[in-house]
Amino acid sequence: MMGSAFASGLRGAGILLHISSLPSPWGIGDFGPSALAWIDRLAAAGLGWWQFLPLGPPGRGNSPYEPFSTFALNELFISPDWLIEDGLLRADAVTVRAFNSQTVDFETVGEFKLRLLAQAHDNSRSSAPGNLRTEFDTFCQAEAHWLNDYALFRALRERHNTADYWDWPDELRYRVPSALARAKVEVADNVERFRFTQFLLNRQQRRLHEYARQKQVRLIGDVPFLVASNSADVWAHPELFLLNAEGLPTVVAGVPPDYFSADGQLWGNPLYDWGVQRSAGYSWWTDRIRGVMAQSDAVRLDHFRGFVAAWQIPAGAITARIGEWRPGPGADFFRAAGARLGPLPVIAEDLGFITADVAALRDQFHFPGMSVLQFAFDGDPHNPLLPENYATQIVAYTATHDNNTSRGWYESLPEEERNYLWRYLGRPAGSPEDVAWDLIQLAWESRAIVAMAPLQDVLNVGAEARMNWPGHALGNWGWRATDEQISSAALQRLGELTVRTGRAIVY
């Protein structure tokens, strides 16, 4: 059954913008005042949806789609302002540094935020309000199913100079009970610090979510299909993954050659042992979805086709060209998830190589799919991504985090495709400055249940503002909007379009 977030059938609109891209004085967007101010701007424009990327601690290349915990939140999203408000930091002890306002320096920001969190933890032992300690104890009990393993993983990782867990001593690598018991005592203070950090992050994110509800802005969270090999999840639950006797992947994930890469994409993440997952009632996976449902009002399921079949590549391969499709759990998984979680407010990320069985699974459970306008103009009038060919239950995007900005996309198009675009729009060729807003208008005027655009397209910025380049390991995820951009007239213009197309929040 379709989740309650879409059950009303009301047309809506929103913006795709990761937390990290918000302006703030702390080098990166966070869960604090800058996010609340952003929600105010969305609400003022009548935009009822805000979509962000996964909130977990990012793995290689700072990718949020390769978290080293599927349940934890990213420490960089902590709001120093709210730590001060809670009495965990003194305002005069927090120095605002001259951070880059247009891109995230992950290493510098990480050192800064981790130092603040360590101070907050130390101060909590003497100055935290009593209700904060009570809330912390309640949080630890409710989240023990992942929190204890995660905190121990982080503490041991720190103790071993951030080495991959398979480079730890064998007794820790293979989780020998007596060794784990000793380690818990030896690193107890750090375990407590990591648990307290997650409590603070969850507390701040809940505050953000509640504020969004008050403003009638609904949040779209994101569940990565995969996790990092070097993650608390794989270390704590190796039985859930296709690993060899040494705990290393036998096959790894990716996709075959596609629009983004002639060699395919070699992600390198471990794949799931769906037989073991099934025998456990898919409890680990449904706990993942439950966690994101608690943080948001709808859930984008990344790489939805992986639930039908995932591209498995032999471990050690240097490209994704050699591989095979490995069956996923299909409808059995979503029946089990629905039984445990109730109606699933899911958006199926059904992009890429989509076969009839993937579409059938999506439609069986009435999940809206995704349509990206940048993929629509190949000259085929039957292309399902053209607005006139949309199914009603679709979320239409001008672009996603994996695409170039629409202006950058147009500037890179061959002349033939540019000409087709203008013919489709029914007017003479325009300039690159027109294209992003032409696509926004197409999405907003379509019959899609929700129309979305990355903030970069609303701001009409070029390729320099691209968030991610699939297949490129470095240089991604750092783009930030400035205060001036957030305050520009572009949001007012989008608000006017949102009202005109009947997509505005109804108060």
| HEC assignment per residue over 157-215 | HHHCCCCCHHHCCHHHHCCCHHHHHHHHHHCHHHHHHHHHHHHHHHHHHHHHHHHHHHC
CA distance 42 to 12: 12
Q: Which of 75, 81, 143, 402 is catalytic?
A: 402
Nearest-CA neighbor of 372 among 354, 356, 355?
Answer: 354
* Bridge partners for 51 per DSSP: 16, 220
CA distance 150 to 297: 25
Q: How many residues does the chain have?
A: 507
Examine the residue annotation and report whether 349 is marked as an active-site residue of this protein: yes
Q: Which of 297, 302, 350, 438 is catalytic?
A: 302
CA distance 501 to 11: 9
Given a contact cutoff of 8 angstroms between Cβ atoms, the answer to whether 239 and 276 are in contact is yes
Given a contact cutoff of 8 angstroms between Cβ atoms, the answer to whether 292 and 205 are in contact is no
Q: Which of 86, 349, 350, 438 is catalytic?
A: 349
- Tell the residue number behind the tokens 């709210």, with chain if given: 82
- Tell the residue number behind the tokens 């099934």, with chain if given: 278
User: Helix count (H) and strand count (E) of the chain?
Assistant: 20, 12
Residue type, 19: I
Give the torsion sign (CA, 10, 16, 20, 23). Answer: negative
For the stretch 400-410, what's the b/e string if a residue is b when 16 or more beta carbons lie within 10 angstroms of its beta carbon? bbbbbbbbbbb
Residue 199 backbone dihedrals phi, psi, to 5 degrees = -60, -45
| HEC assignment per residue over 211-245 | HHHHCCCEEEEEECCCCCCCCHHHHHCHHHECECC
Token digits of residue 316: 């050690």
Examine the residue annotation and report whether 135 is marked as an active-site residue of this protein: no
Nearest-CA neighbor of 151 among 116, 193, 117, 181?
Answer: 193
Examine the residue annotation and report whether 302 is marked as an active-site residue of this protein: yes
Torsion angle of C-alpha atoms 262, 266, 267, 270, degrees rounded to 10: 140
- Residues serving a catalytic function are 302, 349, 402
